Amino acid sequence: MRVAEPFSLLLLLLCVRACVCVEHHTRHSVPKYLTLCPTNCECIINNHYTETVDVTCQNRTNIGIKLPPSVSSLSYVNVSTPFVQSSNLVPTSTSGSDMIKIIYKGSGIKGLSQLTFAKLPYLEHIDFSENFISEVPATVFHNLIYLRVLNLADNKLKKLPSDLLKTQKRLSELYLAKNYLSSTNYEVYSNCSILKILDLSYNAISKLPDEMSFNPSLVVLLLNNNRLKDIPASIFSTLKQLQILNLANNEIHITSDLFRRLNALENLDLQNNGIEKLPRDCFEGLTNLQVLNLSKNPIDSVDSDLLKTNSDLKTLVLSETLISHISASLLARLKRLRVLNASHNYRLGTIEDFKFSSSNHLQYIDLSFGNLSVLPIFISHLEMVEQLKLEGNLWKCGCKSRWFVEWLSNHQHAVNKTLTCDKEENMIEKLISLNCKPPHAVNESLSQVLEFRSTVILTCSFDGEPAPSITWVTPSGYIFHHYPDKNSTDNSSSHPRIHLYDLEPVVESRVKLLNNGSLKIQELLRQDAGIYTCIAINSVGNATSHIVVTLDRKTFFHIKIMCIIVGASAVLAVLLCTAIGQLIHWLCKKCGLVEERSKQLMQQRENIEMYKSQQLKNLRENYTQQVIPGSQDKRKLCAAGGMDKGQLPGTSQAHP
């Protein structure tokens, strides 16, 4: 027992210590400032060290609200009051507040006084949206030099005082949507040098003045749902940082240079503007464009070069328009396209085949409720489709759509609805039952040896189901396309019917494509000889045949003989002309017909030649005397004394 007593005493001390700690923790876990939270409101600790709280009240009246001290954020939602009382914004026990955010929305507020924010100098965020404010005092925000966000959307404002935001140098977001503004009130926010977001949507703005210039710092500009028509071409010229521009639901006339300088723009919304035609270069400067919405416009055609500089485009919306045809070149350049929406185009009947690059990630395709009858074959090239909408079209189940059976087996998750065709038959079952055949050669010309400048017809006939298209490739680089079905959209139908390798169309040619697909060569020349390739393609497969055209050897022999004769004749003609010229000159000279002036010229020429000869002789002598001095004297001495040529004067020759 004596041994156990110390252990019992130690255990008792530990228990007492634990109770004290629990009591201390309980005393501080609920701060005193939380006990002052108004009824039907929620107070959340913002910072334990500064003892600040965020207060949220909703669905009550403003009567009886007493705020706790040190409120950092205040949110009133549907706290009904016609006018804002300072007691609802500032604790009654203090003369001021460090509050940085206040939200007072959907509460029926009709107006603000000049002293509404007098005791809140550190406010950074103000949201008084969804009220009935019709007028704002000019000086109501003048003491709020730290204000960054101001939201007055969904009120009844018709005009704003020009110096309303005179001191707000730090303002970065301004929301004025859903009011009754008839102008942009640019003078209000013109001095906000770091303004990033400007929302003027859902107003009654009908014109942008020519002299107006938006803040160069803008990143987001929302002008949708106004009454805009003609926009000055230079209105967006200073917006080098603009990334989002919404002009939807207006009546804007698009010009070639309206968006030309918006190099940073990523999102452009032009839906429902009554646009009938787009200039082919209107998007030329938008090299970073990623989202383009042209829906709900009466556009009946889209130029194939409209998006030639917008290779970064990821989302293209062409729904609810009047277009009847989409060309391959319009979409083939969009290597990063992920979303294609061309739904509810009741005139859309054809989409040309094209192949995206290997890096394409098209994931969402909506072609629903159009006038398509044959499944667009470009879908067969896509491997990463997550959703494909094809319902609402009058599909015809033919062999041209047979490829869809295999493609759908690998992308079953992409199509959610059962597709039908031909009197409500199940599309997949119908396609499986078809007896489709790849191209098979039934008649083709044999290799031929032909005479120069002769006429020849090359035949290339294939059988298959569906009927294959024929493509001829000539040795000189011409390519001809023949389609049994004039409405075909297979393969290369986007190309000119006759063109070169670089797709440059050919207007006139000695080689012509006949209506039955045969090739006619008129006045066969040397460059026409070679291998002619005939390619047959349908939706099931393809086949190729080659026809060799050779010029007869006699032709080459005749050409060589002719070349020799022509060359010899040319040489003889030159020699004959030279001889005749010399003869005429001799006769004129003999008969004294040469003019005196000619004789003088000849004499001057002879004098010049004599002068040149004399000068050259003098130069040689001078050179000999300078380079080998005394050489002539040495020769004379040697001759007189009988000395050897190698012995100098004054020296003796050694004897053996």
Over residues 94-144, the pLDDT tens digits come to 556 788 999 999 999 998 888 888 888 999 999 999 999 999 999 999 999
* pLDDT for 647 beyond 60: no
Within 10 Å of residue 508's Cβ, how many Cβ atoms?
6
Q: Which residues contact residue 478 at a Cβ distance below 8 angstroms, ignoring those fewer than 6 apart?
A: 472, 498, 499, 500, 506, 509, 511
The C-alpha atoms of residue 426 and residue 357 are separated, in whole angstroms, by: 33
> Residue 472 has which token pair?
């001829």
Percent pLDDT > 90 in the chain is 35
8 Å CB contact between 634 and 641: no
Least confident of 20-24, 356-360, 472-476, 559-563: 20-24
pLDDT digits (tens, 9 = 90+) for 227-251: 999 898 889 989 999 999 999 999 9
What is the DSSP code string of 297-317? S------TTTTTT-TT--EEE
Within 10 Å of residue 534's Cβ, how many Cβ atoms?
26
DSSP 400: G
By the 10 Å C-beta count (0-12 exposed, 13-18 middle, 19+ buried), 80 is classed as middle
Radius of gyration of the chain (CA): 47
Q: How many residues does the chain have?
A: 656
Instruction: Tell me, rounded to whole angstroms, the distance of Cα 633 from its chain centroid.
Output: 93
The C-alpha atoms of residue 203 and residue 222 are separated, in whole angstroms, by: 11
Closest CA to 331 of 366, 357, 367: 357
8 Å CB contact between 99 and 147: no
The C-alpha atoms of residue 60 and residue 50 are separated, in whole angstroms, by: 29
What is the model's pTM?
0.71
The C-alpha atoms of residue 490 and residue 493 are separated, in whole angstroms, by: 6
Overall average pLDDT of the 71-91 stretch: 83
8 Å CB contact between 185 and 212: no
Peptide bond into 466 cis (omega under 30): yes
Least confident of 3-7, 166-170, 177-181, 435-439: 3-7
Overall average pLDDT of the 221-232 stretch: 93
Give all strands (DSSP E) within 270-360, no chain letters.
291-293, 315-317, 325-326, 339-341, 350-351
Q: In sequence order, what are the beta bridge partners of 175?
A: 151, 199
Looking at residue 594, its pLDDT comes to 56
Contacts 24+ apart (CB under 8 A), 85-89: 86/115, 86/116, 86/118, 86/119, 88/62, 89/116, 89/117, 89/119, 89/120
> Residue 505 has which token pair?
């169309």
Q: Could you give all domains of the chain from N- to C-terminal order, each with its CATH number?
A: 36-201 (3.80.10.10), 437-488+508-553 (2.60.40.10)
**What CA–CA distances, in Å, run from 140 to 73, 128, 161?**
20, 13, 11
> Residue 585 has which token pair?
């000159």
Looking at residue 356, its pLDDT comes to 60
Q: Identify the band that residue 378 occupies on the pLDDT scale cut at 50, 70 and 90.
A: confident
Helix (DSSP H) and strand (DSSP E) numbers for the chain? 8, 31
Q: Residue 1: helix, strand or coil by DSSP?
A: coil
What is the DSSP code string of 176-211? --SS--SS--HHHHTT-TT--EEE--SS------TT
Cα angle: 551, vertex 553, 558; to 5 degrees: 100
Q: Which parts of 126-192 fold into alpha helices (H)? A: 186-189
* pLDDT for 644 beyond 60: no
Phi first, then psi: what are they for 346, rounded to 5°?
-70, -10
The C-alpha atoms of residue 432 and residue 430 are separated, in whole angstroms, by: 5
The C-alpha atoms of residue 376 and residue 45 are separated, in whole angstroms, by: 59
Least confident of 262-276, 395-409, 557-571, 623-637: 623-637
pLDDT digits (tens, 9 = 90+) for 461-500: 888 888 888 888 988 888 888 887 665 545 444 566 677 6
Within 10 Å of residue 601's Cβ, how many Cβ atoms?
11
The C-alpha atoms of residue 429 and residue 397 are separated, in whole angstroms, by: 10
8 Å CB contact between 346 and 371: yes
Q: Residue 638: helix, strand or coil by DSSP?
A: helix
The C-alpha atoms of residue 254 and residue 174 are separated, in whole angstroms, by: 27
What is the DSSP code string of 421-480? ETTTEEHHHHHHT---EEEEEEEEPPPEEE-TT--EEE-EEEEEESPPEEEEE-TTS-EE
Looking at residue 539, its pLDDT comes to 75
The C-alpha atoms of residue 566 and residue 627 are separated, in whole angstroms, by: 59
Overall average pLDDT of the 78-87 stretch: 80
